[in-house]
Amino acid sequence: MAIRTLDQLGDLRGKRVIVRCDLNVPLKDGQITDDGRVRASVPTLTALLEAGATVVVISHLGRPDGAPDPKYSLAPVAVRLSELLGRDVAFATDTVGDSARGVVAELGGGGIALLENLRFNPEETSKDAEVRAGFARQLAEFADVFVSDGFGVVHRKQASVYELAEALPSAAGLLIEQELGVLERLTVDPKRPYTVVLGGSKVSDKLSVIDALLPKVDTLLVGGGMLFTFLVAQGHKVAASLLEEDQVDTVKEYLRRADELGVTIVLPTDIVVASKFGADAEHVVTAADAIELTPFGASGLGLDIGPESSARFASEIGRSATVFWNGPMGVFELAPFASGTRTVAQALADFDGFGVVGGGDSAAAVRALGFEDSQFGHISTGGGASLEFLEGKRLPGLEVLGWQ
């Protein structure tokens, strides 16, 4: 792994460091419901503070459409960050305005501040590189060096990710180093058997990663809403379950290629089918080739993999040496349809090999279901970035840091 790291920035004592974190956490009624990304940012911030630097933290949260929106404020994150660091984190109510300038100017040596949501400024995500560069120059006025540690955004060419790294001496933080180390273990001579578990709603979201991983894995387990397109590709009917008809031929080709490559694709043999989408829906377990034969007929909705399939998936995970999981097995937010995801999570938690939860909805699911981060080999902070890395795509936020 070749990328500029913190130790290449030299002595940081007395210097001001601006750090791009990914603090894009879920909020409900102004409260953080999953602080995983905040906790993941702590090691780098602690290392910089212990090195004697004054730290200015920047991040986005949600998609506020380029204008201030109170429901996307980072204020609750500043409170949680203060708790985790054990010190006050000053909070600026804007990003490059009077509040930000004032808060940064008042920071004493070794102090830390968090600026308001970057995406309250339309320049952050502008498609015009010059506009982004202008915003990056404003951010650069707050610091002597830049540390990029928001792995969840390195696949985006945005001002605080790309142009800011060009405007100041820059390096990757500890989180990005860790994430790259994990992903390289998944792509460079992984220990075998190597199993990938893919879920989530749409096949189209996973096309590139399936294409890239098929030649590299031994077993591919398919769950979530995307499984129904696979079932249709095998000639089965799926009632009103989620289906991407325009991807059926693509999936047929994946099934053919897998057979050619000697890769085992494991599809669910039983499905939890519901009368409607809701926690109070009537539901039954049925064979995967009999979804339309339930009492709900053609209006039945497949919302989870069944117990037989869950047990098979857990068995495949247990006999593997390397496992990467991205995407829940069903609608885990609704208790009657969380069992498949819980079983996969438990299998990965009990797993003796190298297991990676691939961020995004998978990370949210394991925490929502009561698992601790420490139960897994690694929980990525970047679902989309992880997938694009595995697909072999160029990630601008890493390339600008010298990654090769």
Q: Which amino acid is at 217?
A: V
Report the run of H or E that residue 378 belongs to, with start and end: strand 378-379
Task: With CA atoms as reference, report the closest residue to 318 among 343, 353, 342.
Answer: 353
Options 224, 300, 360, 397, the catalytic residue: 360
Contacts of residue 13, Cβ cutoff 8 Å, sequence gap at least 6: 51, 52, 53
Q: Is the peptide bond before 43 cis (omega within 30 degrees of 0)?
A: no
Give CA torsion, residues 290, 295, 296, 298, to 10 deg. 50
Residue ranges for the binding site?
22-24, 37, 60-63, 119, 156, 206, 302, 333, 359-362
Options 278, 377, 384, 402, the catalytic residue: 384
Strand partners, 346: none
Residue ranges for the binding site for substrate?
22-24, 37, 60-63, 119, 156
> Does the active-site annotation cover 86?
no
Residue ranges for the binding site for ATP?
206, 302, 333, 359-362
Options 101, 137, 202, 216, the catalytic residue: 202
Q: In whole angstroms, give the CA distance from residue 76 to residue 309.
A: 40
> Does the active-site annotation cover 360?
yes
Query: From the CB of residue 345, how many other CB atoms can be counted at a distance below 10 Å?
Result: 26
Query: Mind listing the pLDDT tens digit of every residue in the chain (404 residues)?
Result: 589 999 999 999 999 999 999 999 999 999 999 999 999 999 999 999 999 999 999 999 999 989 999 999 999 999 999 999 999 999 999 999 999 999 999 998 899 999 999 999 999 999 999 999 999 999 999 999 999 999 999 999 999 999 999 999 999 999 999 999 999 999 888 999 999 999 988 888 888 889 999 999 999 999 999 999 999 999 999 999 999 999 999 999 999 999 999 999 999 999 999 999 999 999 999 999 999 999 999 999 999 999 999 999 999 999 999 999 999 999 999 999 999 999 999 999 999 999 999 877 888 899 999 999 999 999 998 878 888 898 888 899 999 999 98
Backbone dihedral angles phi then psi of residue 304, each to the nearest 5 degrees: -165, 160
Q: Residue 113 in contact with residue 94, Cβ under 8 Å?
A: no
264 dihedral zone (left: phi>0; alpha: psi -120 to 50; beta): beta
Q: In whole angstroms, give the CA distance from residue 365 to residue 271.
A: 19
> Does the active-site annotation cover 30?
no
Q: Residue 305 in contact with residue 313, Cβ under 8 Å?
A: yes
Strand partners, 350: none
> Does the active-site annotation cover 97?
no
User: Model pTM?
Assistant: 0.90
Task: With CA atoms as reference, report the closest residue to 133 among 157, 109, 113.
Answer: 157
Options 37, 157, 342, 367, the catalytic residue: 37
